[in-house]
Amino acid sequence: DGGITQSPKYLFRKEGQNVTLSCEQNLNHDAMYWYRQDPGQGLRLIYYSQIVNDFQKGDIAEGYSVSREKKESFPLTVTSAQKNPTAFYLCASSSFLGPQNIQYFGAGTRLSVL
Amino acid sequence: LAKTTQPISMDSYEGQEVNITCSHNNIATNDYITWYQQFPSQGPRFIIQGYKTKVTNEVASLFIPADRKSSTLSLPRVSLSDTAVYYCLVGYSGGYQKVTFGTGTKLQVIP
């Protein structure tokens, strides 16, 4: 079954704690993305990666970090520097092949602060 | 990046055809128009993509006039399960594209 798997579905963070959200894809896609969605809002780009061992900041990268050691995996760490982390986090991937650059999304991780 | 403008919300009765229009006045020559659907607490899902004229698939139709400054997503005979947020995106589809998801159009289907 091809697709994008995000885990966990729900995550709680304590004050001063770093937490890591997992994103794995088996679509053999080159590019991967992390978005943040606040209630009633659209998606905002946090980080993206076009290739292994390379990634770029999106519009709201402060307080977040990522790594891309494998093509299939793009974990997101929400650091203690992110003062308002409560949101719905979405991971996506896309392929550069062909004229379409459609993004495929995971089911999301909902992060809350304790 | 081309900026898009779409209505914040729309209501429709079940069984009706729904048309959601998106304005993108500064669309570039290489840009494609893509629509996504998002249900609450889920990731967006690709619906349809086009460059010009009309594109149809099993879910929707996309109408793009010759000047490409707008596009219309048409959903035939909507049902309650079509209640969702619909996003219009414009961007270059060759290689990586940084796209911007606006707030989308919240479609409420009424029984």
Q: For B68-108, write each residue's pLDDT tens digit.
A: 999 999 999 999 999 999 999 888 655 556 677 888 999 99
Residues A62, A79 contacting (CB under 8 angstroms): no
pLDDT tens readout for residues A86-97: 999 999 998 876
Is A31 in the B-facing interface, judged by CB distances under 8 Å? yes
| Mean pLDDT calculated for residue range B27-46 | 92
> H/E element holding A2?
none
Q: Is A39 within 8 Å of chain B by CB?
A: no
Check pLDDT > 70 for residue A29: yes
CB contacts, 8 Å: A48 with chain B: 96, 98
As a whole number of angstroms, the distance between CA B44 and CA B41 comes to: 10
- Give the model's pLDDT for residue B103: 83
Of B43, B99, B103, the CB nearest to A41: B103
Please indicate if any CB of chain B lies within 8 Å of the CB of A27. no
Pick from A99, A90, A107, A106: which is nearest to A35 by CA? A90
pLDDT band at A4 (very low <50, low <70, confident <90, very high): very high
Q: How many Cβ atoms sit within 10 Å of the Cβ of residue A82? A: 22
Copy the structure tokens of residue B73: 């997503």
**Cα gap A94→A31, rounded to integer Å:** 5
- Mean pLDDT for chain B? 91
Looking from the CA of A3 toward its CB, the CA atoms found within 13 Å total: 9
pLDDT at site A104: 92
- Report, as an integer, the average pLDDT of A5-28: 94
Interface test mutation site (partner A, options B52, B93, B106, max chain A beta carbons within 10 A): B93
Nearest Cα to A52, choosing from A40, A37, A39, A70? A70
